[in-house]
Amino acid sequence: MKIFRILILLVASIWFTATLHAQDTAKAFIGAEIITATGDQYDDGVLVVRNGIIESVGARGQVTIPSGAEQIDVSGKVIMPGLVDPHSHIGGGDGGDRSASLHPDVRILDTIDPRSDTIRRALAGGVTTANVMPGSGLLMSGQTVYIKLRPANTIEEMLVYVDEENGIYGGIKMANGTNPLGQSPAPGTRARSAALVRNLFIQAQEYKKKMDEAGGDEEKMPSRDLQMETLVEVLEGKRHVHNHTHRHDDILTAIRLADEFGYRMVLHHVTEAWKVAEEIARSGYPASIIVLDSPGGKLEAEHLYYETGRVLEEAGVDFGYHTDDSVTDSRLFLRSAAFGIREGMSREKAVESLTIANARMMDMEDRVGSLETGKDADFIILSGDPFSVYTKVLQTWIDGEKVWDRENPEDRKYATGGYNVIQRASFGHHDHLNAGGN
Amino acid sequence: MKVLKLFVPVCLMFACIATDAAAQIAVKGETVYTMDGDPIRDGVVLIRDGKIERVGTAGSVSIPDGYDVHEAKVVTPGLIDSRSVVGLAGILNQDHDQDQIEMSNAFQPDLRAIDAFNAREDLVKFLLGKGITTVHTGHGPGALVSGQTMIAKTAGNTVEQSLVDSTTAIAITLGAGIRGGYSTPGTRAKSVAMLRQNLIEGQDYAKNRNSDNPPSRNLGRESMADLIDGKIYALIHVQRAQDIMTAIRLQKEFGFRMLLEGAAEAYLVKDEIKEAGVPVIIHPTMVRTWGETQNAGFKTAAKLKEAGIPVVFQSGYEGYVPKTRVVLFEAAIAVANGFGYEDALQALTIDAAALFGIDDRVGSLETGKDADVVLFNGDPFEYTTKATRVIVNGNVVYEKD
């Protein structure tokens, strides 16, 4: 056994060295239209990446291509940042159950299948980073994970820590409106929902007070409580609340509660945000829109319009789009923002709403979401205009590595589907309860 | 196609009303897809009294005085959704607005769509705003036989005003798409046995109903007999390859006119479908891939078309969100995945009209046909394009700039 272990170590170290070595060579992508998501755009641009990081980006002639760099001709193509999906259910994970309505201790981390075909399919749509969440059937269904969609055998290899010191790699999922309503112990009304949430956060405030009073003295610390520990992170602003909410009054309730307890929050779905755009703008909370082809299907989605993006842009809300995969398809994430353009949203905002705006909602704007020197080399190469139905994602790159290539039939099948391509996707009763989104 | 006599006078009356109300309209398009020959650059469509009066180039057709002029980048005939449930299924997704499926019995061929269609339903008007002017709708998939389907315009305030065809098909589901909750059938084999027995009874009924000693009326058997006699289609919802083969087997045994609907795995048996000469109303291109549609692909429509199988598009049935799909959007994704551009426009218009035998009225911009016209501000398939005017029976029923 010992020999076996040494062998593994040896192989692992060779692989590691080889990878490092390979990455030491810079790669220069030359000639594409580069959309940086910082407002800059280069019609004939150069992107240089090395060691998984963007070394430089700019117009041809203004960017120094390092000697010895591998030069890749991408003329006629479009490069933009890898898409950041702030609300997804890929990976087949689950969350809290019906034994209670509030599960701050539950981690989706413990349930995701990193080999899931649904993750490959998201790569085919150009998604490089995602906030994978438990469902909306509970007031608080559990902790979410921020992951990069790199090939991995373990979920740990995919995690992105936003708070290294405290080991935080995600937010917490909450929901209001009709989805969490039901039979006891679920609340039966909206008012009960809010009361349950407020009661729990008051407990968390008291727990935090005891922690603060202990002043680092282990003896004086309150006994460990997974639920309270997580909520203290929320109260301290280390962990975002991702709040499912559709109707205008539910949006305002979510804002009221976040204001009361001072936690940081992202409003998700926001079907009726167009009715309270000014209020959202004043609150300062960002919003994440779902685009469905038609309104309806549930009472709260009756007033869903493609115009929401334009209205929020005009109101000055920091907003983006999400897939809620499998409610909408990660392969068509670009389409969601394109539907905003269709109703008057700017193209610049459309780019941001799939990238940097979403990175901000996950405290990851320093690493992903735009093409800037020093940020992670996460980008996609497109065949043309990002917002055209005819455009294809050609390649998806994460940390300077090509992780999906349309030229490769084994990769391409995730873009087109077909026989036995997606084997682990499901949306049965169990999933509907937990992951069941929108 | 079978139009109930009852509706003939009503429809005529409506036509008169429409004639009175309709202004004379000239539609100018940078590109006009007439679906009757090549597209016309700088084309004009004249509309008079609810019908297409004349179509041609701007140089050849002068616009008479008094015509309201509407302009657009692209002009098409009103689009046809070849399979939907809107009007029976409503936007709220609550029990009281979901009439596309009846759970008391898995076999109910006597259920008429016209008795359940809500012409004012929001989803119907939503589709209208997307350029869908005609919809084949009715009872949904989910029961062995869920009921009948019909064809309606998306404009109109009553089923009588909207109706194009009262009884188009019997909606049949084979495979695991039959919902749980029925006492029977509970298996594929039992489904087929039940269907065959009822078809045999339909054969007898068809034979005897014109005899000197006709059987007492039975609404369900009348419908099955209409199917046997070729008056209406068997609209068979199937996804898995083995269930497609079952549908073809039944069609050979009973000789009914059949439309395959869904057909997610059709690419596995395209030779067999071609040989059987069966048109396919392909599943929504963006259908979610789990359960019966696990193996659906974006390229299936293109593969079937390439194999020479007639293909048209559908919005289908959705149990949750979005409550309806938009057939134009589904066709767009097929076009982006290899389905020919003009083939797709044809499938959305004249091909669907011909399939349902309503091409004397809709499906192309030709003199004398219903003035159902859509104006787009760009390529109809593009994400960023929208319909800016929708005209039905010569009336501008939707405007958005």
- What dihedral do alpha carbons A50, A55, A61, A62 form, nearest 10°? -170
Q: pLDDT, tens digit, for every residue of B281-305?
A: 999 999 999 999 999 999 999 999 9
Q: pLDDT, tens digit, for every residue of B55-83?
A: 999 999 999 999 999 999 999 999 999 99
Give pLDDT, residue B2: 52
B128 Cβ contact partners less than 8 Å away, ≥ 6 residues apart: B154, B155, B390, B392, B397, B398
pLDDT of B140 strictly over 80:
yes
Please judge whether B297 and A326 are an interchain contact, meaning their C-beta atoms are less than 8 angstroms apart: no
Average pLDDT, whole number, for chain B?
A: 95
The DSSP string of B35-60 is SSSSPEEEEEEEEETTEEEEEEETTT
Q: Is the dihedral of CA A179, A180, A181, A182 positive or negative?
A: positive
A392 Cβ contact partners less than 8 Å away, ≥ 6 residues apart: A382, A383, A406, A415
Please judge whether B289 and A298 are an interchain contact, meaning their C-beta atoms are less than 8 angstroms apart: no
Give pLDDT, residue A422: 87
Give pLDDT, residue A177: 98
Q: Which of B320, B324, B337 to mutate to test the interface with A (most CBs of A within 10 A)?
A: B320
Instruction: Give the residue from A361, A414, A435 showing the smallest Cα distance to A130.
Output: A361
Describe the crossing of helices A409-416 and A117-124 by its angle, rounded to 10 degrees.
Answer: 90
CA A354 to chain B, closest CA, distance in angstroms equals 16
CA distance A305 to A39: 27
pLDDT of A427 strictly over 70:
no
Please judge whether A438 and B321 are an interchain contact, meaning their C-beta atoms are less than 8 angstroms apart: yes
Nearest beta carbon to residue B93 from set A298, A421, A425: A298
Phi-psi sector, B212: left (phi>0), alpha (psi -120 to 50), beta: alpha
Q: pLDDT, tens digit, for every residue of A100-116?
A: 999 999 999 999 999 99
CA distance A78 to A36: 11
Residue B241: closest C-alpha in chain A: A419
**Cα B376 from chain centre:** 21
CA distance A172 to A204: 14
Q: pLDDT, tens digit, for every residue of A225-275?
A: 999 999 999 999 999 999 999 999 999 999 999 999 999 999 999 999 999
Describe the crossing of helices A248-261 and A190-214 by its angle, rounded to 10 degrees.
Answer: 20
DSSP A29: E
CA A229 to chain B, closest CA, distance in angstroms equals 36
Radius of gyration of chain A (CA): 22
Describe the crossing of helices B219-228 and B188-208 by its angle, rounded to 10 degrees.
Answer: 90
What pLDDT band is residue A426 in, cutting at 50, 70 and 90? low
Instruction: Give the residue from B57, B127, B30, B60 showing the smallest Cα distance to B392.
Output: B127
Q: Which of B100, B292, B383, B401 to mutate to test the interface with A (most CBs of A within 10 A)?
A: B383
Burial group, residue A49, by CB count within 10 angstroms (0-12, 13-18, 19+): buried
Q: What percent of chain B has pLDDT over 90?
A: 94
Instruction: Give the residue from A382, A383, A356, A376 showing the smallest Cα distance to A149.
Output: A376
Q: pLDDT, tens digit, for every residue of A382-424?
A: 999 999 999 999 999 999 999 999 999 999 999 999 999 987 5
Instruction: Give the residue from B92, B120, B123, B139 showing the smallest Cα distance to A297.
Output: B92
Give pLDDT, residue A423: 79
Q: What is the CATH number of domain A2-76?
A: 2.30.40.10
Architecture of domain A82-369+419-434: Alpha-Beta Barrel (3.20)
pLDDT of B20 strictly over 50:
no
Chain B partners of A421 at a C-beta cutoff of 8 Å? 289, 295, 297
CA A432 to chain B, closest CA, distance in angstroms equals 11
Nearest beta carbon to residue A296 from set B92, B265, B326: B92
Give pLDDT, residue B21: 53
**Cα A70 from chain centre:** 31
Please judge whether A295 and B381 are an interchain contact, meaning their C-beta atoms are less than 8 angstroms apart: no
CA distance A83 to A350: 12
Please judge whether B326 and A418 are an interchain contact, meaning their C-beta atoms are less than 8 angstroms apart: no
Average pLDDT, whole number, for chain A?
A: 93
CA distance B32 to B10: 33
Question: ipTM of the predicted structure?
Answer: 0.94
Q: Chain A contact for B163, CB < 8 A?
A: no
CA distance B174 to B187: 10
| Domain positions in chain A | 2-76, 82-369+419-434
Q: What percent of chain A has pLDDT over 90?
A: 90
CA B87 to chain A, closest CA, distance in angstroms equals 13
Cross-strand partners of B54: B46
pLDDT of B15 strictly over 50:
no
CA B42 to chain A, closest CA, distance in angstroms equals 24
**Domains of chain B, earliest start first:** 7-77+364-399 (2.30.40.10), 79-355 (3.20.20.140)
Q: Chain A contact for B92, CB < 8 A?
A: yes
CB A407 within 8 A of CB A124: no
Give pLDDT, residue A424: 59
Q: pLDDT, tens digit, for every residue of A49-99?
A: 999 999 999 999 999 999 999 999 999 999 999 999 999 999 999 999 999
The DSSP string of B153-164 is ES--SSHHHHEE
Nearest beta carbon to residue A329 from set B286, B321, B332: B286
pLDDT of B139 strictly over 70:
yes
Residue A296: closest C-alpha in chain B: B91
Q: Which of B81, B283, B289 to mutate to test the interface with A (most CBs of A within 10 A)?
A: B289
Please judge whether A299 and B321 are an interchain contact, meaning their C-beta atoms are less than 8 angstroms apart: no
